[in-house]
Every structure is written in structure tokens, then in C-alpha cells.
Amino acid sequence: MEPNYYILLGAPGAGKGTQAAMLVLALGIPHVASGDLFREHLSKGTELGLLAKQYMDEGKLVPDDVTVRMVLDRLAQPDCAKGAILDGFPRTIAQAQALERALSANGQRIKAALYIKVSTEELLRRLGGRYTCKNCGAVYHIVFDPPKQPGVCDKCGGPLYQRADDTPETAKKRLDVYFQQTAPLIEYYRQQGLLREIDGEQPIEAVHAALLKVIRGE
């Protein structure tokens, strides 16, 4: 059977990581998040991690060549044989084209680009209250999706922290970068007939249901 590659498109804070974790359970394919891959490299102190940090700290995009290589290496792992839920990648037209080239070389293609639409005001509220697990990367929100015990991950018991790039200043910069460099992908995928739009301002469970409905073509 042809692998199912889904792209989760949307601004920082739209809920891509939250929804991807739920889709993993529903679809049985892995969550591949370029930001998580960079943070893993950073925590291991690899050369790639140190390079990425310079960009991440400023809310800028890591250069396309290293990003593409890292994600394609991840997609070549055996657990992605049935597909993957891509989160945070592609973020530029050049990344999207590189992904297409790599997939089509294997006779594969993207199934759909799922665009989670959220207003800028709401994005800033979400980024400002986001807490991430240091251990497993699970995300929470201090008000909208709090953990059972403050500061402790429900899933693995790991410690929760606020990402350095979620401060108001860097979050705003990341949104600027999103509108300039990533938002053009919405039209790009629309023109290819792959774009599916989802209202991301609903509660987490309702967004999940809407995504599943679109994926299952109901």
C-alpha cells in the first residue's frame, strides 16, 4: 500500500504538535517534527544542534539544505515506511519542492496538506502559555490544556519547561517569519489541490475530529 504522508501546516502555536500526537494514535504512523529533531540534536550537543541553535534562538529558519537533509534522513527510517505526519516541515517553498522530489523518486506523493487556521491574537496567547516536556516533547498549556500536576508531564512524568523561543519577543519574530516564508505554502498546496483547511480555534478534541473527518474524506 502507498505510504500516507500528511503535512500539518499552520503558524507556530496553531496546534500542530498537539494534533500530531493525537493523529499518531489514530493513524498508526509516526510524528516527524523538524523542531523536535533540532531540539534533540541540541540536547545531545551535536554539530547540527549547535548550528540550529543560532537560528532558533532568534526565531529564524535554519537553512534549507541542512533542514531538508535532516528530515529526509528521518523519513528514510523503517518506522516511516507506511507514511508520516509532518509537523513544521516544509516551511519554505524550496523545502516543499525538495520533499516532492524525494518522494517522487520513490513513486510516492503527499496525501494532503492539512492547514490549521488560527488568528494571530490566539497564536500569541497559546505560545505565551505553552509548556513542553523536557523528556518526551509533549505539549501543554497553562490554561487551555493544563497537566494534571503542575510542572509534571502526564505522559512520562518528565519536567515541563517554557521554550526559550516562546518569549513574547521571539514568538512575534517567529510569526513574522511564518507570514513571510511559510504562509506562501498555503497557496502552493491549494494550487496542487492538496490543501484542506481546518478551523484551529475550536477546542483540541473538536480540531482532532475535524482533522480525522478530512483525512477520512467524509
Indicate which residues carry an active-site annotation: 16, 91, 130, 163, 174
19 binds ligand AMP (CB under 6 A): no
Q: Which partner, ligand AMP, ligand ADP, none, binds residue 56 by CB below 5 to 8 Å per kind?
A: ligand AMP
CB 116 within 8 A of CB 23: no
DSSP string of 171-198? Answer: HHHHHHHIIIIITHHHHHHHHTT-EEEE
Q: Which partner, ligand AMP, ligand ADP, none, binds residue 126 by CB below 5 to 8 Å per kind?
A: ligand ADP
Q: Which partner, ligand ADP, ligand AMP, none, binds residue 55 by CB below 5 to 8 Å per kind?
A: ligand AMP
User: Grid coordinates standing for 53?
Assistant: 541553535
User: Shortest approach of ligand ADP to residue 26 CB, angstroms?
Assistant: 16
Contacts of 173 (CB under 8 A, 6+ apart): 58, 59, 60
**Element at 155 (helix H, strand E):** none
86 binds ligand AMP (CB under 6 A): no
| Site residues for ligand ADP per CB under 6 A | 10, 12-18, 126, 129-130, 139-141, 144-145, 203-204, 207
